[in-house]
Structure 1
Amino acid sequence: MNYKLAIDWDDFLTNYWQKKPVILRKAFAHFIDPITPDELAGLAMEEEIDSRIVSNKDGVWDARFGPFTQYDNLGEDHWSLLVQAVDHWHEQAATLLEPFKCMPQWQFDDLMISYATQGAGVGPHIDNYDVFIIQGMGSRRWQVGDRNQHYKQFNAHKALLHVEQYQPIIDEEITAGDILYIPLGCPHNGTSIGESLSYSVGFMTRTSQELLSSFADYVIDNLPNGIYYQDPDLKRPKDPYQVQPYELTKLQDQIIDLIKKPELFNDWFGKHITLPMHDLNIVPVEPPYDYNEFESLLKNGAELNRVPSIRILKVGDCGYIHGEQINLPMPVIDLLCKTETLYYEQLQDKDTLQVMLDLVNKGYWYFAEE
């Protein structure tokens, strides 16, 4: 399915991105759902897929986590099924992401899909990411507030963090093909009107604390020789118990120098940022292909498909996929980033084939006929 998105991206980025929420009416003309409620329910039965059911019966909130074995005990209203990273497991749903690939892909998180019955929602809450909520089947009423660091949050249930009352700046219904964009930090509450499906395209960056922790682990693993503080120009201090300002500055600079080394920082970031937040449908080849078998399959017309939503990015002069560096020239890495289906004619260089053989055996690409 070819989804075309009617958004003036330059205008959107200038006036709305991480600034204020907005409803983009009929951003998808003649929208057709890429997945059915039954298919979504089937995915939520799988062990590898993150899912939950949230209900609000008679004002009492409840949340349960999958995998689920049945749904016939839930009643006809006030419950919703939410499934994370559907783009990892459902190729048709993943096509919905194509129009958003003009945005920085290192910030993309996942496609979450929600099926909701009459009156259902997850309650008023604040997310720590930017999200485009695409309305599919049915409609929902959304109440969205502006940012305010003084909002008070509380647990309506141990798995549900809600926000206390806020003043909506958007209070409208959205229908099939409409998109609600909500920046990080804006409180919002969606309530289903009848049965509905919605698709949340999330963009999220890690916190500085998480990044610093991950980088520190990388440095420990990749710089086995310790870097010690040294001060060969030391003068006898007046107060030996006082840490001198210049000493603190030298310590800070010593740490900052590590961060500013491109060969360290870029390699760490490429490996870190291409690790997935959710499980992927990666199946290593057993027994692995040997080179001659692999080349023969490609020469005979077999197509290589990339695993849906596996993270592949470029950092500096290198490419990265699923936490590892790709040892190929940049023109080939560009091809791997932008092309999901590969053919022999694109890969016939022997060095390229050897690297691709390794990636295919790891399960990052697979032959279409399998």
Structure 2
Amino acid sequence: MYTLNFDPAEFLSQYWQKKPILIKNAFPQFEDIISADELAGLAFEDAVASRVVVTKTNDWQIIEGPFEEYEQFGDSNWQLLVQALNHWHPDSNKLINAFRFIPDWRFDDLMVSFATPGGGVGAHIDNYDVFIIQGEGQRHWTVGDKGHYAPKNNDPTTPLIEGFEPIIDAVLEKGDLLYIPPGYPHQGQTLTLAMSYSIGFRAPSQQELFSELADSLIDNNSGLKRFTSSNEPKLASQISTSHQQDMMALITELAANPDNYQAMLGKMLSQNRFELDICEPEEPYSAEDITDYLSQGALLYRIGGLKLLRVEADSESRIFVNGEVFNYPAHIEADINKLCENFSFNNQQAVSLMQTAETQKVILELLNRGYFYFAE
């Protein structure tokens, strides 16, 4: 169990998406989720997104995984990064649970780093919120204030910048936490062999929302209302101000109707950027199989990284799972709430969920899609 040593409500009101903060000993008696050897082994797998960043003089080299060995990198000045550890390592959920005072739809992934002395990435700016938790070892972090910064080597495509004046300058040790909102420059440098964990939270951009809304309207053959006007400009070549505003009002009208955006948002925000470890059964489960497994003491688990989301004030009773819609009868709302709020269920909890036939039907569908699984 990972328990935060600070008040989440105070953090949300004073720091979340406002300013960075270093919290020493945020996780008392912190234990690494995974060993360096286990992490290195995961990066051998094709399905796992991994990379090695080699620090060079005033530059960095990025080598994409999977890897077969690491000896060529030497004893210093490199780090291994594995994205979406939570998709492949079930124990990751214990750490992620500590941050669920932020809604699941924002959660992106848990990235883990094993770094040698001198390993790191240069000064850069991210467009998402990140919590950095230090495991074994020490890393020196600096964070600057928001501002305009020159891109590294005048390269407009790089996230790296030339440098900044730090407003946070500290060495992180086991259990320390650094929170960095979008837009704040930062840089980490490894002092000793070190493990660190980055929990990222993303939100959609205007561009992404418009693109998804347009796709949704096309898929549903909706949004067909056309512009009409009551007056025309005197000049034939002119698009009048009133015409411009009235055309944009058509978009505002669409966006104001929940029927046009609720399903779109649910599908969009329940999807992941990284591959899921979907566990489809060799043969479809039946209701009898569920009863049999539970009678033998089985536990019920959600696969790592899977999001089960609901839209508040939804026009339908449904959940959104990995971009798909699952409808359910309104009278099992309490069961669906438990299903969405928990990553796993002990045997007694699972048996209790299965008491209602309609709930069992939803879970059966999720099991057969490979989104849930039984384990001892």
With the length of structure 1 as denominator, give the TM-score of the two structures.
Answer: 0.92
Offset at residue 75 of structure 1 (A): 0.5
Determine which of 342, 345, 353 is the counterpart of 2:352: 345
Name the CA distance, whole Å, in 2 between partners of 1:274 and 1:340.
15
Determine which of 176, 179, 184 is the counterpart of 1:178: 176
Measured on the aligned residues, the alpha-carbon RMSD in Å equals 2.1
Distance 1:236 1:245, change over 3 A: closer
SS of the residue 1:219 aligns to: helix
Report if aligned partners of 2:279, 2:372 keep a CA contact under 8 Å in 1: no
2:78 corresponds to 1:79 = yes
SS of the residue 1:123 aligns to: strand
SS of the residue 2:51 aligns to: strand
Offset at residue 333 of structure 1 (A): 2.0
- Structure 1 stretch 94-103 or stretch 246-255: which is displaced more? 246-255
1:67 aligned partner: 66
2:214 corresponds to 1:211 = no
Report if aligned partners of 2:44, 2:67 keep a CA contact under 8 Å in 1: yes
SS of the residue 2:71 aligns to: coil
Query: What per-residue deviation string (whole Å, max 9, x for no partner) do you get for residues 114-159 of structure 1?
Result: 11001110111111111110010001111110110x2111369999
Query: What per-residue deviation string (whole Å, max 9, x for no partner) do you get for residues 279-336 of structure 1?
Result: 1111222221234434443455433211122011111234211112221233222111
Report if aligned partners of 2:153, 2:162 keep a CA contact under 8 Å in 1: no
Name the CA distance, whole Å, in 1 between partners of 2:142 and 2:195.
17
Show structure 1 runs of 4+ deviating over 4 A: 155-160
Query: What per-residue deviation string (whole Å, max 9, x for no partner) do you get for residues 228-249 of structure 1?
Result: 3334xx4565333322333223
Name the CA distance, whole Å, in 2 between partners of 1:58 and 1:126.
20
2:324 aligned partner: 324
Distance 1:198 1:159, change over 3 A: farther
Offset at residue 36 of structure 1 (A): 0.4
1:9 aligned partner: 8
Report if aligned partners of 1:295, 1:353 keep a CA contact under 8 Å in 2: no
Name the CA distance, whole Å, in 2 between partners of 1:67 and 1:205.
28
SS of the residue 1:215 aligns to: helix
Name the CA distance, whole Å, in 1 between partners of 2:125 and 2:156.
16
| One-letter identity of the residue aligned with 1:217 | D
| One-letter identity of the residue aligned with 1:86 | L
Name the CA distance, whole Å, in 1 between partners of 2:211 and 2:26.
39
| One-letter identity of the residue aligned with 1:218 | S
Name the CA distance, whole Å, in 2 between partners of 1:222 and 1:243.
30
Name the CA distance, whole Å, in 1 between partners of 2:53 and 2:289.
49
Report if aligned partners of 1:61, 1:156 keep a CA contact under 8 Å in 2: no
2:90 corresponds to 1:91 = yes
Distance 1:309 1:247, change over 3 A: same
Structure 2: gaps (5+ residues)? none
Name the CA distance, whole Å, in 2 between partners of 1:267 and 1:186.
33
Name the CA distance, whole Å, in 2 between partners of 1:130 and 1:219.
30
SS of the residue 2:120 aligns to: coil
Report if aligned partners of 2:299, 2:375 keep a CA contact under 8 Å in 1: yes
Structure 1: gaps (5+ residues)? none
1:38 aligned partner: 37
Distance 1:300 1:59, change over 3 A: same
Offset at residue 57 of structure 1 (A): 3.6
Q: % of aligned pairs identical?
A: 41
Offset at residue 96 of structure 1 (A): 1.0
SS of the residue 2:282 aligns to: coil
